[in-house]
Amino acid sequence: MERLQEAIAQGAIDVASTNLSNGVAECQWVVVCTPIQQIAAHVVSAAKAAPQAMITDVGSTKESLVRQLASFPNLRFVGSHPMAGSEKSGCQHGSASLFDRRLVFVTPSTATPKTWTEEVRKFWEAVGAQSVAIDPGQHDLCVAQVSHLPHLIASALATSTDPHWIPMAASGWSSTTRVAAGDPALWTQILMENRTPVLQATRKFATILQAWVDALESGDGKKIEQLLEAGKQSRDALGNRHPSS
Amino acid sequence: MERLQEAIAQGAIDVASTNLSNGVAECQWVVVCTPIQQIAAHVVSAAKAAPQAMITDVGSTKESLVRQLASFPNLRFVGSHPMAGSEKSGCQHGSASLFDRRLVFVTPSTATPKTWTEEVRKFWEAVGAQSVAIDPGQHDLCVAQVSHLPHLIASALATSTDPHWIPMAASGWSSTTRVAAGDPALWTQILMENRTPVLQATRKFATILQAWVDALESGDGKKIEQLLEAGKQSRDALGNRHPSS
């Protein structure tokens, strides 16, 4: 309760309860923000206590969750995954502009009524986000590449640096390793949950890394420049959508 | 001359010349900012035309340069490497605060008079930087880890992402790949010049990556959490020295 009272004191929330059924009973909307392994059970409990509510979640993998909930056909649930937040946690790091122009994936199953998907998309757009509806499995492949692999790589890169050189690091190292400061327990859950797509993405990365090792070993400047050109072309495709990061 | 005239028009520089000897003849300080393979020759030419000047450079590898210049014992030269700048180039991206609190390596050889090293350190500190004197070979090992490997990794990561997922990328991918937008020709020179230390750093990274592949393959959550803890510990050691990156 201590962290909930802190959130009330800060004005981040109006009312707190640690009893899920009581907490959601009168809600029109329920957003489940619990660790990924617990989301399915919490969605089912919330739906029982608040059958009127539209339920979504913010879990960062979606196929397994949507599959788990498929046997509860009357759930008013559509999964979500907001691509927002940072390596910091706790309500003191909350921000009213957190979702501004951020992408939120909304992941209907084939059985989800289209009107529900639209309602959930409007919910996220009402807090400033841009939403996209995507198949849960495609979502997991996508985030393995654009979120989970970068986390893994940032972590491995930070670890590979000799501790006595870290004080000499500049903005390149700082950017490239930034997300490695994230919560290890949370990220273990995410990576375990999305293990197969992440492994696939990691293997693809390892192939490119091997091309780098080969080019460096043979001193092949032309090949190095080709590798750098490919990386630049890919990075430039993002444009300036995240200038502060 | 077009780019030089643009720099004059912007007030970035007062006088321009494409004749090195004429340009430096009356200078007290010469800072050679040319591609790395040409620095040694430009330092020697500048020293001939301006024997009164203290000469330094901003090349990002140092051992080979210092070795090349060792046969010119009367050069008033001490190498430098400012850890500042970005993936952007051109005088329109210049900034008066570019060196503020940035680290500048100053790399005397064993033959360099200490007073010269101190003069060059004071020069950089006068424009806002923090300086550190370091052996040229140690410098190259350090930057292989904190600058060159992150560049290579950022590039490989950007390349590994399927182009159709890039529009879905959020701040994690954006930060982790940021430096991959840098100039391929420039970075080919840097990586070729510092090839041996970079290869060594890349191999160390590849070993950690293999530990990740093994942990993912076997679904070893405990090992994944250990890997993430190690990465977080390393990243946290930097603190908030580069909050905007």
Amino acid B37: pLDDT: 87
Say if residue A89's pLDDT is above 90: no
Chain B residues whose beta carbon lies within 8 Å of the beta carbon of residue A208: 156, 159-160
Shortest Cα distance from B36 to chain A (angstroms)? 14
B151 touches chain A (CB under 8 A): yes
- pLDDT score, position B82: 94
Chosen from B95, B159, B200, B214 to mutate, greatest number of chain A CBs within 10 A: B159
**How high is the mean pLDDT of chain A?**
93
Q: Do residue B149 and residue A160 have CB atoms under 8 angstroms apart?
A: yes
- Identify whether the C-beta of residue B61 lies closer than 8 Å to the C-beta of residue B193: yes
Summarize pLDDT for B25-36 with one digit per residue, the tens.
999 999 999 988
Q: Is A190 an interface residue toward B (CB < 8 Å)? A: no
Chain A residues with CB under 8 Å of B181 CB are 232, 235-236
If you write DSSP's letter for every residue of A107-161 in order, what string do you get? Answer: E--TTS-HHHHHHHHHHHHHTT-EEEE--HHHHHHHHIIIIIHHHHHHHHHHHHS
H or E element at residue A45: helix A39-49
A interface test, pick of B93, B208, B232, B236 with most A CB neighbours within 10 Å: B232
Quote the DSSP letter at residue A77. Answer: B
Q: Distance from B7 to chain A by nearest Cα, in Å?
A: 25
Q: Provide the percentage of residues in chain A whose pLDDT is more than 70.
A: 97
Q: B147-157 pLDDT, tens per residue?
A: 999 999 999 99
- B48-57: pLDDT as tens digits: 999 999 999 9
pLDDT band, very low/low/confident/very high, at A242 (cuts 50, 70, 90) = low
Cβ–Cβ gap A103/B172 under 8 Å: no
Using an 8 Å CB-CB cutoff, list chain A residues near B212: 152, 156, 202
**Nearest-by-CA chain A residue for B222:** A188
Instruction: Please compute the mean of the pLDDT values over residues B100-117 and round it to a whole number.
Output: 95
Phi-psi group of B200: left, alpha or beta (phi > 0 → left; psi -120 to 50 → alpha; rest → beta): alpha
Residue A165 one-letter amino acid = W
The C-alpha atoms of residue B92 and residue B137 are separated, in whole angstroms, by 34
**Cβ separation A242–B170 shorter than 8 A:** yes
> Please, which pLDDT band fits residue B240 given cuts at 50, 70 and 90?
low
**Chain B 205-224, residues with CB within 8 Å of chain A CB atoms:** 205-206, 208-210, 212-213, 216-217, 219, 221, 224
Q: Specify the pLDDT at position A244.
A: 39
CA distance B98 to chain A (A): 12
Whether A129 has its CB under 8 Å from any CB of chain B: the answer is no
**Sorting pLDDT into bands at 50, 70 and 90, what band is B118?**
very high
The pairing of beta strand B29-32 with beta strand A130-133: unpaired
- What pLDDT sits at residue A245? 39
The per-residue pLDDT for range A100-145, each reduced to its tens digit, is 999 999 999 999 999 999 999 999 999 999 999 999 999 999 999 9
- The reported pLDDT for the residue numbered A243 is 44
**Could you tell me the pLDDT band of residue A87, with boundaries at 50, 70 and 90?**
low
Judge contact between A77 and A47, C-beta under 8 A: yes
Strand-by-strand arrangement of the A79-82 sheet: A79-82, A103-107, A130-133
Pairing of strands A79-82, A103-107: antiparallel
